[in-house]
Amino acid sequence: MSVELVSARVRINQPSEVVLYVKAFEELRSMAVYGAEARALILKAIGALH
């Protein structure tokens, strides 16, 4: 399995390593928002810049 990081791509083969990335992905996915909720979040962030 290849995983792309911010600065590199790493190859992980051990199941224990794969589990770490799966858990991290699931955590991030659980925080994701879509559609109107995403738009509201973006507009809130833009508003905070002003």
Per residue of the chain (50 residues), give pLDDT as tens: 777 777 788 888 899 988 998 999 999 999 999 999 999 999 999 999 98
What predicted TM-score, i.e. pTM, was given to this entire model? Answer: 0.60
Nearest partner of 13 among 2, 24, 25, judged by Cα: 2
Q: Read off the tokens for 44.
A: 């809130």
How many separate domains does the chain show? 1
In a domain, 8, yes or no: no
Question: Using alpha carbons only, what angle is made at residue 45 by residues 42 and 50, rounded to the nearest 5 degrees?
Answer: 130
Q: Read off the tokens for 17.
A: 């390593």
**CA distances to 6, 17, 22 from 10, in Å:** 11, 11, 14
In a domain, 6, yes or no: no
Q: What domain range includes position 29? A: 15-49
In a domain, 23, yes or no: yes
